[in-house]
A = this chain, B = another copy of it.
Amino acid sequence: MTRRDTYVCGIDAAIDVVGGKWKVLILWALHAEGTCRFGQLKREIPGVTEKVLTSHLRELEADGIVRREVYEERVPRVEYSLTPLGASLNEALEPLGAWGRAHLLPQDHHDRRSA
């Protein structure tokens, strides 16, 4: 998504953070699964390439949404998790998610609440 330099309201600023093609899915996965490793995320988000997943994660990290922790062990390990800011973003997205579920997705009982 094209970074804007001036924002008119909070919404377009937020959309800018969250508007990448796979970003909300990353947020969703990290929220649902908790801390995730790279390969785990890749599996949770079928279709995304490693390159794009990496760049999205780095952008979310730069925006303070995601925490990235590297463990220098014999077997390399990196763990991703939501920052408090990321968790609050996810909460702010919930009404939008509910709207999408109710109006855009095929069917679904729309009384299914998620935390």
Contact = CB atoms under 8 A, between A and B. Distances in A.
Interface of A: 1-2, 4, 7-19, 21, 24-25, 27-28, 45, 84-85, 88-89, 91-105, 113-114
Contacts of A25: 8-9, 12
Nearest to A32: B9
Contacts of A92: 95-96, 98-99
A28 B10 CA distance: 10
Nearest to A21: B2
B13 A15 contact: no
Contacts of A91: 95
Contact of A97 (B11, B19, B45, B97): B11
Contact of A105 (B10, B19, B21, B101): B10
